[in-house]
Amino acid sequence: MVDPERLASETLLRCGQPRLANGRAIDVERIARDFCKVEVMYISDLNPSGKSLLGLYAPMMNAIMVNCDNIQVRQRFTIAHEIGHVQLEHGPGNAQSMFELPDLETFECTEEDDGFSGTDDRFTGLRRRAEIRANQFAAHLLMPAGLVREVWRQENGTRNA
Ligand SMILES: [Zn+2]
């Protein structure tokens, strides 16, 4: 089984770590669009099946949907989390090949999925494990060690210059 953290590092390496305009954060939307070839859609009041979702990955539509009612930092984590589903299920890079796979599962990701960690033993189903792995992937995609060090250096090295 692929290690989510390693997959996140590989993804960053392969896509060249695109940054937001401020240079201080990873541009996850660009990774989704340019690297995974998955569309990112911002949708208000996202609840396709009656429960409010943070985000959703729909392989059939080749799209990630993000609930845009949430704050931006939340939306960024959601996009990273959904990229995790894309890559953990279908491998890094172009997601087009997923159309050949049977059993295309839509991931509907809720607030409650978010709190799950590797140590939570209340849920052992495959689905829960997939959510945990997507969260691990997202955390590493958004905060690679190199970027954290670089921003810290900028903050502390140039502030008084
Ligand atoms: Zn999820």
Per-residue pLDDT tens for 44-61?
Answer: 999 988 888 999 998 888
Do residues 137 and 80 make contact, with C-beta atoms less than 8 angstroms apart?
A: yes
Cα 4 to ligand 1 centre (Å) = 13
Cα 90 to ligand 1 centre (Å) = 14
Whole-angstrom distance, CA of residue 107 vs CA of residue 61: 12
Per-residue pLDDT tens for 90-145?
Answer: 654 444 444 444 445 678 888 766 655 555 544 456 777 888 899 999 999 998 88
Residue 41 has pLDDT above 60, yes or no: yes
Residue 27 C-alpha from the chain's centroid = 11
Cα 99 to ligand 1 centre (Å) = 19
Cα 116 to ligand 1 centre (Å) = 11
Environment of ion ligand 1 (residues, CB < 5 A): 107, 109, 131, 134
Residue 112 C-alpha from the chain's centroid = 16
Selection from 89, 90, 109 nearest residue 47 by Cα: 109
Per-residue pLDDT tens for 57-88?
Answer: 988 888 999 999 999 999 999 999 999 999 88
**CATH code for the structural domain at 4-156:** 1.10.10.2910
Amino acid 145: pLDDT: 81
Whole-structure pTM value:
0.80
Amino acid 115: pLDDT: 56
Structure tokens given for 125:
């189903």
Amino acid 141: pLDDT: 95
